[in-house]
Amino acid sequence: MLQAIRQFFAERAVLEVETPLLCHGSGTDPQLNFFTTEFSFPPEQQTLFLQTSPEFAMKRLLAAGSGCIFQICKAFRNAENGRYHNPEFTLLEWYRVGFTLADLMDEITDLITFLFKDRLTLQAAQYFTYQDIFARHTGLDALAFDYSAYCAYAEEARLPDAITLCGQDHVLWLDFLFSHQVQPHLGHNALCLIYGYPACQSSLARINQYNASITDRVEIFINGVELGNGYYELTDADEQEKRFTNELKIRQQLNHAVARDDRLIAALKAGMPDCAGMAIGLDRLLMILSGSPSINDVLAFPIADA
């Protein structure tokens, strides 16, 4: 699988790069938990973060003029373990200068088709907007939050916990209902691409130029398993700084403070080219390619044996 990925990008003249996993800053997404460690170099001592993705460092390379790049690396997410999760996992991430979201979706389809060729036969790729697929399986409008309608649906679907867990938070409702009611139906023996996510869900994607209620974001699924997440990347430094600030406020309320990556903001201010980027979890992809029921079956040493 790794050889095939490298062949795919080599044929398209995309440069393989390597960036640090241990950094001074981190993401601000309230949904993610980070590993930290202390760097001791007397008389100084600093808190460093293991990265949940190489995204910020790769964007700094893009701003420095790297051109199109990809990376296969380890990434880390705390408080995640289970059938589809291991706190340490392998990630493929790539960025294509000059690509729109539509261009990126075409390349994702090409890559998955290439990797599955002569291994497993997939049906034709499926494309749905988030709003359409959410309405198909829940009857709710994902872009207009109606608390009473969402609660009524949760009761009808026998998901009363959603009311307690999500409260008045639209983002939590979307995550809960999508994972329980929509995702299991996506990509039966096919690559399924869901795009046009609600604006409240995408910290790093740019707002769609024709519809301010959605962002240019795509996620991919096969057999109900989420494999990856991509954006037509936000390049506006002021807007990115504003989003980081808002997310930090939420994290502080949850008592999950982190250090914002100001180096990314500086890179955006210096000028990052228009581009689209994608990240795919390779352990999950290997699960599907090998027909394995659990991520532990494709890891040499899952966390319990590490």
- Whole-number pLDDT of residue 110: 98
- Whole-number pLDDT of residue 202: 78
Query: What are the structural domains, with CATH classification, of the chain?
Result: 2-122+189-305 (3.30.930.10)
User: How many angstroms separate the CA atoms of 220 and 185, rounded?
Assistant: 13
Strands (E), the chain: 15-16, 22-23, 35-41, 44-50, 69-76, 88-97, 123-129, 190-198, 214-222, 225-232, 275-281
Strands 190-198 and 123-129 turn out to be: parallel
Contact between residue 67 and residue 15 where contact means Cβ atoms under 8 Å apart: yes
Nearest to 219 by CA among 154, 273, 278: 278
pTM comes to 0.94
User: How many angstroms separate the CA atoms of 232 and 263, rounded?
Assistant: 20
User: How many angstroms separate the CA atoms of 71 and 62, rounded?
Assistant: 13
Element housing 2 (H / E): helix 2-11
User: How many angstroms separate the CA atoms of 125 and 111, rounded?
Assistant: 12
Give me the helix-helix angle, 130-138 and 170-177, nearest 10°.
70
Provide the residue-wise pLDDT of the chain in tens; the chain has 306 residues: 999 999 999 999 999 999 999 999 888 888 889 999 999 999 999 999 999 999 999 999 999 999 999 999 999 999 889 999 999 999 999 999 999 999 999 999 999 999 999 898 999 999 999 999 999 999 999 999 999 999 999 999 999 999 999 999 999 999 999 999 999 999 999 999 999 999 998 788 999 999 999 999 999 999 999 999 999 999 999 999 999 988 888 888 887 778 888 999 999 999 999 999 999 999 999 999 999 999 999 999 999 999
Nearest to 20 by CA among 58, 68, 77: 58
